[in-house]
């Protein structure tokens, strides 16, 4: 084989290997896959105590519903339930997870479990028009769990819910479709990075365990 052909083939092989290694590095970097299960930290514990209304303090508020003038009473929605909170985006590579989230909701909704969806443009992948966001959620994916109006989930502008969850779980969303699961008594929080699919055993096992403790 001529030397020039050998060099060309080696360059191509090296390039392919670099691309494969780079892809694996990107896949296992941000957002990661590992789950984090903790007891709320001391500086966030007040948010995860019960209120006179019967819900956890973190959920003791009303929020406007997606593309609507109506509001969701988070206290009523979450009272006595295991709660999943997820920040969503309708122009993201993970947008297809809406299908899994809806399937998860249908699987557990009659077992004191609820999902709260928070569309967010914090990662610049949400429509500026809530009508388009609503179409993706409700029309394209048939979402039936409560969806809030578009809201920030990072930094000082983040909604109070996400500030409390980030502090309590010691983990802020690194990307869209980060998932928190909170036990009904607020004593445990599990945090799942974006790559963990809604029906992954890590999540369903956590929900099952929290429901048993309920």
The confidence score (pLDDT) of residue 122 equals 98
How far is it, in rounded angstroms, from Cα 59 to Cα 53?
Answer: 10
Q: CB of 116 within 8 A of CB of 83? A: yes
Q: CB of 122 within 8 A of CB of 153? A: yes
Could you say which residues of the chain have pLDDT below 70? 1-34, 41-43
The confidence score (pLDDT) of residue 136 equals 98
The confidence score (pLDDT) of residue 3 equals 58
The confidence score (pLDDT) of residue 35 equals 74
The confidence score (pLDDT) of residue 20 equals 41
The confidence score (pLDDT) of residue 44 equals 74
User: Which of the following is catalytic: 55, 75, 92, 137?
Assistant: 92
The confidence score (pLDDT) of residue 7 equals 54
**Secondary structure percentages of the chain, helix, strand, coil, to 5:** 40, 15, 40
Q: Map tokens 């992948």 to a residue.
A: 125
Instruction: Specify whether 92 is catalytic.
Output: yes
The confidence score (pLDDT) of residue 185 equals 95
Q: Is 153 helix (H, G, I), strand (E, B) or coil?
A: coil
The pTM for the full model equals 0.83
Query: Which is nearest to 27 in space by CA: 214, 128, 175, 131?
Result: 175
Which one-letter DSSP state was computed for residue 164?
H
Task: Mark out the alpha helices in the chain (DSSP H runs).
Answer: 3-27, 74-78, 97-108, 130-134, 160-169, 201-213
The confidence score (pLDDT) of residue 55 equals 97
């Amino acid at each position: 084989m001529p030397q020039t052909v050998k060099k060309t083939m080696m360059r191509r092989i090296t390039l392919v290997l670099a691309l494969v290694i780079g892809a694996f590095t990107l896949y296992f970097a941000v957002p990661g896959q590992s789950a984090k299960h903790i007891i709320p930290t001391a500086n966030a514990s007040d948010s995860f105590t019960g209120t006179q209304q019967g819900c956890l303090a973190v959920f003791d508020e009303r929020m406007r519903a997606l593309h609507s003038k109506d509001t969701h009473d988070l206290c009523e929605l979450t009272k006595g339930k295991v709660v999943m909170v997820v920040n969503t985006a309708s122009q993201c590579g993970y947008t297809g997870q809406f299908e899994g989230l809806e399937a998860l909701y249908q699987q557990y909704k009659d077992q004191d479990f609820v999902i709260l969806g928070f569309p967010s443009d914090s990662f610049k992948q949400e429509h500026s028009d809530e009508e388009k966001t609503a179409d993706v959620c409700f029309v394209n994916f048939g979402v039936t769990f409560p969806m809030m109006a578009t809201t920030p989930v990072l930094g000082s502008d983040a909604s109070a819910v996400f500030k409390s969850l980030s502090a309590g779980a010691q983990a802020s969303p690194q990307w869209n479709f980060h998932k928190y699961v909170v036990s009904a008594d607020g004593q445990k929080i599990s945090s799942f990075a974006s790559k963990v699919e809604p029906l992954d055993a890590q999540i369903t096992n956590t929900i099952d365990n929290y429901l048993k403790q309920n």
